[in-house]
Amino acid sequence: MSDCPAARARARVATTAAAAPGRQPQEAHTTIRVVFALLPDSLALDWAGPAEALRIANRLLEAGGQPLRFEVEFAAAQPELRSSVGVQLAGLMPLPGAWDARATWLVLVGLPGRHIDVDTPEARHLLHWLRGQRLEAGQLELLTICGGALLAAHAGLLAGRRATTHHHHLDELKASEPACEVVANRVFVLDAPVFSSAGVTTGIDLVLHRIGTLCGEALAAQVAQTMVMPLRRGPQDPELSPFLAHRHHLHAAVHRVQDAVSEAPQADWTVPGMAALAHTSPRHLTRLFVQHAGVAPLTYLRRLRLEKARQAIGAGANVTQAAEAAGFGTDTQLRRAWHQFGLPGTPARPSAA
């Protein structure tokens, strides 16, 4: 893998004698060393997606006559291991025994399953190595993707930090490190020198954010465009889209209504109109929604309209345009829904915390 010229991943081990147990200052070094520490069955998209974003960033920088900013490495306890999709990875470097003066991002990724097994020989080896790391903003920074946060927690790297992980692992993360403030339903959480993401595609969002911080938003936007990402998500965005929420039930009539409302939330929906799709009375539809979806029909509709408006604002629409596109009668209705559902800031300034 490290020999592939397209990947440009220069695998090397830092063995510089001057790299002492603390860290040397970054000084004039401008290259970021990015080390993906892998275990057997590491989720392929967790590491491949972010690595591709970094590769594309380097390619765009090079095309613009600028120096490359990222040196990507893949490290593990053994030189070969199998990925989550069965592809055999080879040419992996040993886990670094010391760090040189370059600023470094250490990336931990997830594993298949609802539980992260840290009792395998490879996991114990990785945790022992992680416990010897000393994180420092601007020097050695930690990026976790999906269940990678559990590895960091078991190694004691999340105590006193804010972090997130995949929604299947939230309770596991709380139990693994009670001193960590676990943030639910966020794409990623920034608490330098720890940067954590919810999982899989959110790792790409996190790396795009970091590319934007280091190299400028214009480059990050170019990378996202090259990767054909329809929407870049930020640290205030929810992990689970409202379009996917309230769907964990088996009631066919409620699903039928939800499908129709999701298809066109901006339409002139009423409870009687929804009830007609479900072939039931408006009152009974409301009971079914509350019982099976855990939310009233009009509340469900407002959530979808609010998400549609938020996406429109993120794409450059003003508040009036977003309200109209989402089916809100007025700007005021959009602002009320924004406040009702606890979105940060206001529709005019959605990034405010």
Per-residue confidence (pLDDT) for residue 28, from 0 to 100: 37
200 with 269, same domain: the answer is: no
- CA 145 to CA 125: how far, in whole Å? 19
Torsion of CA 97, 92, 121, 44, to 10 degrees: 130
Are 279 and 220 in the same domain?
Answer: no
- Whether 206 and 278 map to the same domain: the answer is no
For residues 273 and 185, state if they share a domain.
Answer: no
Beta strand spans in the chain (E): 32-37, 70-75, 81-82, 88-89, 103-108, 140-145, 162-163, 181-182, 188-191, 194-197
pLDDT confidence of residue 14: 30
**Within a domain: 148:** yes
Residue 21 lies in a domain: no
The secondary structure element, H or E, covering residue 272 is helix 271-278
Q: For each of the chain's 353 residues, which pLDDT tens digit applies?
A: 333 433 333 333 232 223 333 333 333 348 999 999 999 999 999 999 999 999 999 999 999 999 999 999 999 999 999 999 999 999 999 999 989 889 999 999 999 998 999 999 999 999 999 999 999 999 999 999 999 999 999 999 999 999 999 989 999 999 999 999 999 878 899 999 999 999 878 999 999 999 988 998 888 888 988 998 766 666 666 655 677 678 778 898 999 999 899 889 999 999 999 999 999 999 999 999 999 999 999 999 999 999 889 888 877 899 999 999 999 999 999 999 999 988 888 998 875 44
- Mapped onto helix, strand or coil, the DSSP state of residue 259 is helix
| Structural domain includes residue 350 | no
What is the full DSSP assignment across 135-204?
-BTTTEEEEEETTHHHHHHHTT--TT-EE---GGGHHHHHHH-TTSEEPPS-SEEEETTEEEE-STHHHH
CATH of the domain at 312: 1.10.10.60
Report pLDDT for 27: 36
Residue 260, classed as helix, strand or coil, is helix
In a domain, 294, yes or no: yes
**Residue 185's CATH number:** 3.40.50.880
The verdict on residue 154 lying in a domain is: yes
Do 59 and 207 lie in one domain? The reply is: yes
Cα 272 from Cα 305, distance rounded (Å): 18
The Cα-based distances of 106 to 34, 55, 134 in angstroms read 6, 16, 11
Let me know whether 65 and 158 are in one domain.
Answer: yes
Range of the domain at 109: 32-226
Instruction: Tell me the whole-structure pTM to 2 decimals.
Output: 0.67
pLDDT for 341 equals 87
**pLDDT value at position 241?**
63
Number of domains in the chain: 2
Residues 83 and 133 grouped into a single domain: yes
Asked whether residue 212 falls in the same domain as residue 286, the answer is: no
Residue 342, Cβ neighbours under 10 Å: how many? 6
Considering the domain boundaries, does residue 353 fall inside one?
Answer: no
CB atoms within 10 A of CB 166: 25
Is there a domain that residue 10 lies in? no
Calpha distance 167→241 (Å, rounded): 12
Give the distance between the most distant pair of CA atoms in the chain: 77
Shared domain check, 301 and 167: no
* Residues 234 and 351: beta-carbon distance below 8 Å: yes
Six token digits for residue 197: 């993401």
Give yes or no: residues 220 and 256 share one domain. no
Domain shared by 108 and 205, yes or no? yes
Residue 7 lies in a domain: no
**One domain, residues 64 and 208:** yes
Q: Tokens for 67?
A: 């120096």
Confidence (pLDDT) at 311:
83
